[in-house]
Amino acid sequence: MRTFTVEEMARQVGGTVVGEGSTVITGAASIETAREGDIVFAQTPHHFAQAEKSSGSCILVPRDIRESGKILIQVENPRLAFSTILALCYPPERPDPGVHPSAVLGRDVRLGGDVSIGPYAVIGNAVELGDRAAIGPGCVIGDRTVIGRETLLYAHVTLYPNCRIGERVTIHSGAVVGSDGFGYVWDGTRHVKIPQVGDVVIDDDVEIGANTCIDRATLGSTMISRGVKIDNLVQVAHNVTVGQHTVLVAQVGIAGSSKIGAGSVLAGQVGVCDHVIIGDGVVVGAKSLVFAGKHVRAGEVVMGYPTRPMRKAKEQLAALAKLPELISEVAELRRAIAEVRAQLSLAS
């Protein structure tokens, strides 16, 4: 943990100090666990009231909060400022440069400056590693794969041959990039494998979660664009394109040849069928399914199985919750109608 004065922190996040700027901050914490010397953030008035009661010494607040018994740093976006402070106080640890003696390097490997290769890593032929790239223990890098500057692979990541990984990419343990796409054709008696001869391209500043799988293209490239953030246990199939700065939350599954627009969010366990087009800035609610042929226009917020506009989906869910009552009412109405019919029959 690196320590800063309140004034130094405020300069880093473009904030304004209210109170004693020379106070030293020794930690960053949640409101619930804060101790003296810690900084916390309060995005809303409710959180601010809780933060004032905490033991923390300094609060990151929106600019419209001006008074407190604690030291304040006023910023435009407290949550964003807090993430910057966390990065400053707890800089990520990177392994020391060098190649571990147990690592295996193939022919014609090209290593940039200050590269780190951990124990029992296997680097294939004609692999290129950019400056300050770090390959964790037990990783396997296939032939002719290119990895950019400052990219970090945690332990036991597997990159198949011919992958192209950009700069400042982070790939967490257990992820597999470049495995075969799931492509077969039925010949009347059996499934015949369609050779998967494309590749995977991961652009700069992408983060890929643990045990995520990204398949190589049948032809061409499976493309993960700049700034995409992928959670754990996500499946991206062959020839999928994911637009810039899109977020794929845990257990999302995207079938082949679908296109996900820039700045979109697919919440947990969303399924996307093959050849679907999702526009820019789309939000798909958790556990939803986007059927084949049901493209989603830019900016839409959808959910459901199959997906529909969020408001309509919520109305249908609310109606579904009333279904037992409606069934009882219909049964009562049927009995009443039957009684009326019986009376009319006797009267006639």
Catalytic center residues? 238
Backbone angles phi, psi at 315, to 5 degrees: -60, -40
**Distance between CA atoms of residues 338 and 40, nearest Å:** 67
Q: Which residues pair with 117 in a beta bridge?
A: 99, 135
Contacts 24+ apart (CB under 8 A), 133-139: 134/94, 134/95, 135/103, 136/95, 136/173, 137/100
Contacts 24+ apart (CB under 8 A), 235-239: 236/212, 237/181, 237/182, 237/274, 238/180, 238/181, 238/182, 238/183, 238/196, 238/198, 239/181, 239/198
- CB-CB neighbours of 101 under 10 Å: 6
Q: Say if CB 273 and CB 258 are below 8 A apart.
A: yes
